[in-house]
């Protein structure tokens, strides 16, 4: 209460408009303040924010003369790191009054946020004998913080066997709460905290079912075990994908910050979680969610991660699941890693053995035990009539999806209670269907035709269905998943996004044991492991790999780690052909879909060269985006940003150029130039030369085409020029530039994209 008197004095200076305004409905706002404007009278920013909120409060204005100290109930969070400011529940008149308060910068409305393994470590080439696992000590002592739906501490993936004492620098806590005792943390799960004030403020009637870090959904248990789960033998999903489960960085530590609730998720809680993670001292953050359609200065996740960057924290984010359409990704933020999702070399065949002995393979993750043996088979065309399907009786029905109606078909067949289903479909997004609750298999039209022909030519068609099978080593893999969201980034088109792809399809990872993973005959089924798909799954893979790199190279900046991951990623699949895009008819995936390529942890640990980025480079980019000083301040939290050197040309390990000037001179050639500086992180002397994979209709040139490094950490620069028409004919063209060292040890590859898509960044309300 030391501030009591000065505070009162200060309050007198605040305009008190509209004294008798009605108490209108309040909304939560995230409010940016200019700390340099804080009156000296305040002992700290918390008391200043409290006083500011109290001074504009409708209620306190009515009772100002009698109140001794203002109520703090409207203030939800005071943020220490992520922004200079707070979140508070404010009525429209309170917000208007706040805008006239000293030190007010800007505010945004709190938003709801959409929430977007056994084998994936082997697929990525991780092994105990060589490469990044032994070099990094399996990520020992690196702390990965996840903002997610909580954690199931009893899961064997969070057992701390083999882990050493918790690093002394760790300042986090294991908070008790409903069904969560602080003794549930250990040397693997070293932090557990939860945030829901914003959620409750936005929805006062909400009942929080489990008010603690305990995961009632499963998502957070899955992502955290993917990043850093310990070894668990005999893991599987009802026999599928069986083996030893482990995260990417099995010796790294996990800290869970729960801000995604079954009841909803709000940005005010999410940035409070990130704020705390920064204070606690995490090294790597994994954020499997994002906010669509906002500019950087109105994206709380972008702001919060800028603060993380300043503390040297590496942030991995998910691109989103809105593919295959272009310009759909979120987290297209220049200072984070934006991760797309791909398949791994594993499939789950659901086999149909026809009466004539021919067997045809589809895909199935049916969790039940029952195979079907020699059951009558019937072709029901589009399976669009439940009534007709119900007449079928105990038979396996075959449905042909000609009209993108697979979900209806699956639903209809379930309702008809037949013996089983064979679904013939081109649909490339089977993730939602193949964990079916009745015997079902899903197959491509070529295979389906064999079955349909057999039915048509047989007087008494029959088939058996077999489930529970897993094959690994399938080709081609990886492939870019159809649902993976595509660039260019809407918030900052000038930085190519996504950055890279990582495994995201049918990933096996830990799951809360009391949350059903499937249903068979309306009976819930439980499992300690679940198979999930999405960029939510690829994001923690990349976070885990970042933890390994941080373990191996503690001195590397977040940009250096990102650069190492990007420039060493694979553009070829396991058949040595360009990685295919499932969402684009298996055409080669473009960098707008997969970024630089598929993450390759063992190569990333020794990249040769890195593209580093200084904090001021990001500021130069924000300046060049023509943001106002206030907008820049919401991100950098500084009121004195140096915009003397604006530049959209960030020192990034990839290139995107826009050829979209549609005018009378559209076919005139134009040149786009980029400047890059690379740092030699390999051994002393080395000579690199360029190799360019050209792009259709464009000329790419590099000056100089040879870089001679005399020592480690030396920096050398080059210029890249792309020449093409002012308006290009196709939507996307792509190629790459590689710097290859003379010893053949390092290939430092960067993707190049030219596009006619819009380069107009999103703008916001402020
Ligand atoms: C937490 O667990 C410890 C050890 O099991 C027990 O002694 C303690 O009473 C528990 N605390 C609460 C609040 O349940
Ligand atoms: C909250 O509950 C009260 C009483 O049940 C109801 O009158 C009110 O409309 C509810 N508010 C919201 C936002 O749902
Ligand atoms: C949840 O727990 C926190 C900390 O124990 C407490 O402050 C808060 O009031 C609780 N919220 C609800 C909705 O029970
Ligand atoms: C499958 O069989 C095993 C062993 O008999 C049993 O534990 C499990 O519950 C069965 N699963 C289903 C889905 O019925
Ligand atoms: C699947 O796609 C191919 C190529 O687009 C098309 O020819 C075929 O008719 C489609 N088949 C079905 C069953 O939709
Ligand atoms: C495809 O679906 C659309 C919309 O549901 C419907 O209007 C159309 O008749 C369907 N076409 C076929 C061939 O079933
Ligand atoms: C910023 O403004 C300058 C001057 O008006 C303009 O040339 C440039 O294209 C703008 N940049 C962006 C990213 O819009
Ligand atoms: C701003 O940055 C430039 C270099 O880009 C530097 O010369 C100048 O001194 C800086 N201005 C201030 C006020 O720091
Ligand atoms: C270019 O402009 C013309 C005339 O406005 C328009 O018809 C055409 O669609 C535009 N082309 C592109 C690629 O935007």
Residue 536 among the catalytic residues:
yes
Following CA atoms 225, 226, 230, 232 in sequence, which dihedral angle do they give, to the nearest 10 degrees? 90
pLDDT for res 22: 38
Residue 728: closest CA among 699, 693, 701: 699
Under 8 Å between Cβ of 225 and 178: no
Q: With cut-offs at 50, 70 and 90, classify the pLDDT of residue 766.
A: low
Tokens matching residue 210: 């489990």
- pLDDT digits 0-9 by tens, 49-93: 999 999 998 765 444 333 333 445 689 999 999 999 999 999 999
pLDDT for res 125: 76
**Which residues approach ligand 1 with their CB closer than 6 A?**
176, 181, 183
- pLDDT digits 0-9 by tens, 574-588: 999 999 999 999 999
Under 8 Å between Cβ of 494 and 759: yes
CA 662 to ligand 9 centroid distance, Å: 6
10 has pLDDT over 50: no
Instruction: State the ligand closest to the CA atom of 624.
Output: 7
pLDDT for res 5: 30
CA 486 to ligand 6 centroid distance, Å: 28
Following CA atoms 499, 503, 504, 505 in sequence, which dihedral angle do they give, to the nearest 10 degrees? 140
Residue range 97-110: mean pLDDT, rounded: 95
Instruction: State the ligand closest to the CA atom of 26.
Output: 2
Q: With cut-offs at 50, 70 and 90, classify the pLDDT of residue 122.
A: confident
Going from the C-alpha of 174 to that of each of 79, 151, 160, 258, 448, the distances in angstroms are: 20, 12, 15, 12, 53
What's the CA gap between 491 and 764, in Å, rounded? Answer: 10
pLDDT for res 123: 72
pLDDT above 70: percentage of residues in the chain: 94
- pLDDT digits 0-9 by tens, 210-220: 999 999 999 99
pLDDT for res 522: 82
What's the CA gap between 175 and 257, in Å, rounded? Answer: 10
Under 8 Å between Cβ of 756 and 728: yes
Tokens matching residue 385: 């009539």
Nearest residue (by CA) to ligand 4, atom 5, is 369
Which of 150, 199, 211, 259 is the pocket-test mutation for ligand 3 (most atoms within 8 Å of CB)?
A: 211
Is residue 616 in contact with ligand 8, taking CB distance under 6 Å? no
The DSSP letter of residue 558 is H
434 has pLDDT over 70: yes
Nearest residue (by CA) to ligand 1, atom 14, is 181
612 has pLDDT over 80: yes
pLDDT for res 121: 67
185 has pLDDT over 80: yes
Number of H helices, E strands in the chain: 19, 38
Is residue 644 in contact with ligand 8, taking CB distance under 6 Å? yes
Nearest residue (by CA) to ligand 3, atom 11, is 211
CA 2 to ligand 6 centroid distance, Å: 72
pLDDT for res 120: 65
Biggest CA–CA distance in the chain, Å, is 95
Nearest residue (by CA) to ligand 5, atom 12, is 402
506 has pLDDT over 60: yes
**Which residues approach ligand 4 with their CB closer than 6 A?**
367-369, 520, 525
Q: With cut-offs at 50, 70 and 90, classify the pLDDT of residue 2.
A: very low
Residues 166-184: b if buried by 16+ CB within 10 A, e if exposed:
beeebebebbebeebeeeb
CA 444 to ligand 5 centroid distance, Å: 9
> Which of 6-20, 58-72, 137-151 is modeled with the greatest confidence?
137-151
Between β-strands 587-588 and 529-532, what pairing exists: parallel, antiparallel or unpaired? unpaired
pLDDT for res 116: 66
pLDDT for res 72: 52
Instruction: State the ligand closest to the CA atom of 238.
Output: 4
Q: With cut-offs at 50, 70 and 90, classify the pLDDT of residue 126.
A: confident
Nearest residue (by CA) to ligand 7, atom 1, is 626
pLDDT for res 61: 47
Residue 477: closest CA among 368, 570, 592: 570
Give, for 198, the enclosing helix (H) or strand (E): helix 197-202
Identify the residue whose tokens are 């987290």.
331
**Per mean pLDDT, which range of 13-27, 39-53, 300-314, 700-714 is the poorest?**
13-27
Q: Give the torsion sign (CA, 569, 573, 576, 581).
A: negative
pLDDT for res 128: 80
What's the CA gap between 519 and 538, in Å, rounded? Answer: 26
- How many CB atoms are closer than 10 A to CB 233? 10
Q: Give the torsion sign (CA, 643, 648, 649, 654).
A: positive
641 has pLDDT over 90: yes
- pLDDT digits 0-9 by tens, 650-665: 999 999 999 999 999 9
What's the CA gap between 551 and 557, in Å, rounded? Answer: 12
Going from the C-alpha of 547 to that of each of 315, 605, 723, the distances in angstroms are: 10, 11, 39
- How many CB atoms are closer than 10 A to CB 131? 20
Catalytic residue among 219, 222, 330, 541: 219
pLDDT above 90: percentage of residues in the chain: 86
- pLDDT digits 0-9 by tens, 376-392: 999 999 999 999 999 99
182 has pLDDT over 50: yes
Instruction: State the ligand closest to the CA atom of 402.
Output: 5
CA 367 to ligand 5 centroid distance, Å: 29
CA 703 to ligand 7 centroid distance, Å: 27
pLDDT for res 20: 34
Residue 537: closest CA among 173, 263, 241, 304: 241
- How many CB atoms are closer than 10 A to CB 209? 11
pLDDT for res 119: 56
- pLDDT digits 0-9 by tens, 232-291: 999 999 999 999 999 999 999 999 999 999 999 999 999 999 999 999 999 999 999 999
Tokens matching residue 537: 């799954």
Residue 64: closest CA among 73, 75, 72, 56: 56
């Amino acid at each position: 209460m030391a501030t009591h008197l000065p505070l009162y004095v200060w309050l007198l200076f605040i305009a008190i408009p509209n004294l008798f305004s009605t108490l209108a409905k309040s909304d939560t706002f995230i409010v940016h303040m200019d700390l340099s404007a804080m009156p000296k009278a305040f002992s700290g920013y918390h008391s200043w924010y409290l006083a500011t909120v109290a001074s504009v409060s409708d209620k306190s204005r009515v009772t100002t003369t009698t109140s001794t100290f203002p109520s703090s109930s409207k203030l939800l969070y005071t943020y220490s790191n992520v922004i200079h400011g707070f979140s508070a529940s404010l009525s429209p008149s309170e917000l208007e009054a706040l805008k006239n308060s000293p030190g007010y910068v800007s505010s945004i409305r709190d938003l709801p946020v959409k929430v977007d393994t056994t084998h994936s470590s082997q697929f990525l080439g991780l092994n105990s004998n060589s490469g990044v696992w032994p070099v990094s000590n399996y990520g020992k002592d690196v702390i990965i913080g996840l903002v997610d739906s909580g954690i199931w501490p009893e899961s064997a993936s969070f057992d701390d066997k083999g882990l050493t004492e918790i690093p002394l620098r760790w300042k986090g806590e294991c908070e008790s709460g409903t069904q969560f005792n602080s003794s549930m943390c250990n040397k693997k799960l070293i932090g557990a905290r939860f945030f829901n004030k914003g959620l409750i403020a936005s929805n006062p009637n909400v009942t929080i079912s489990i008010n603690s870090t305990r995961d009632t959904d499963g998502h957070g248990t899955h992502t955290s075990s993917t990043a850093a789960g310990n070894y668990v033998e005999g893991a599987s999903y009802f026999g599928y994908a069986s083996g030893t489960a482990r995260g990417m960085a099995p010796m790294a530590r996990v800290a869970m910050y729960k801000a995604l609730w079954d009841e909803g998720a709000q940005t005010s809680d999410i940035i409070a979680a990130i704020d705390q993670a920064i204070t606690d001292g995490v090294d790597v953050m994994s954020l499997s969610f994002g906010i669509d359609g906002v500019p950087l200065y109105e994206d709380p996740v972008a702001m919060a991660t800028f603060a993380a960057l300043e503390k040297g924290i590496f942030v991995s984010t998910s691109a989103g699941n809105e593919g295959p359409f272009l310009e759909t990704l979120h987290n297209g933020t220049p200072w984070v890693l934006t991760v797309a999702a791909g398949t791994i070399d594993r499939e789950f065949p659901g086999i149909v053995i026809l009466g004539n002995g021919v067997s045809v393979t589809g895909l199935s993750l049916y969790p039940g035990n029952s195979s079907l043996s020699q059951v009558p088979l019937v072709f029901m065309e589009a399976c669009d009539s439940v009534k007709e399907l119900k007449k079928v009786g105990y038979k396996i029905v075959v449905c042909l999806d000609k009209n993108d109606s697979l979900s209806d078909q699956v639903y209809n067949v379930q309702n008809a209670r037949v013996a089983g289903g064979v679904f013939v479909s081109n649909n490339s997004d089977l993730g939602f269907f193949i964990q079916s609750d009745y015997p079902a298999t899903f197959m491509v039209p070529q295979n389906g035709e064999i079955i349909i022909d057999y039915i048509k030519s047989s007087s008494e068609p029959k088939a058996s269905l077999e489930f529970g099978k897993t094959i690994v080593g399938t080709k081609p893999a990886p492939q870019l998943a159809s649902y993976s969201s595509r660039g260019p980034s809407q918030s900052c088109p000038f930085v190519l996004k996504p950055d890279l792809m990582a495994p995201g399809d049918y990933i096996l990872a830990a799951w809360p044991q009391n949350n059903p993973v499937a249903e068979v005959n309306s009976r819930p089924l439980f499992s300690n492991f679940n198979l999930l798909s999405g960029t939510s799954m690829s994001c923690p893979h990349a976070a885990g790999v970042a933890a390994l790199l941080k373990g191996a190279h503690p001195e590397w900046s977040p940009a250096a780690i990102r650069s190492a991951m990007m420039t060493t990623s694979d553009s070829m699949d396991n058949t040595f052909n360009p990685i295919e895009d499932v969402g684009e008819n298996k055409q080669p995936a473009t960098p707008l879909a997969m970024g630089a390529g598929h993450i390759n942890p063992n190569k990333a640990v020794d990249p040769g060269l890195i593209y580093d980025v200084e904090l001021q480079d990001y500021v130069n980019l924000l300046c060049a985006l023509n943001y106002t000083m206030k907008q820049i301040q919401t991100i950098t939290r500084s009121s004195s940003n140096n915009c003397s050197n604006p530049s959209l040309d960030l020192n990034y390990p990839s290139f995107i150029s826009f050829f979209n000037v549609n005018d009378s001179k559209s076919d005139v050639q134009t040149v786009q130039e980029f400047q890059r500086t690379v740092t030699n992180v390999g051994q002393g002397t080395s000579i690199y030369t360029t190799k360019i994979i050209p792009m259709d209709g464009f000329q790419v040139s590099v000056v100089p085409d040879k870089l001679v490094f005399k020592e480690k950490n030396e920096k050398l620069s080059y210029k890249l020029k792309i020449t093409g028409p002012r308006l290009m004919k196709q939507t996307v063209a792509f190629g790459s530039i590689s710097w290859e060292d003379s010893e053949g040890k390092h290939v430092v590859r960067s993707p190049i994209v030219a596009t006619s898509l819009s380069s107009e960044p999103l703008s916001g309300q402020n």
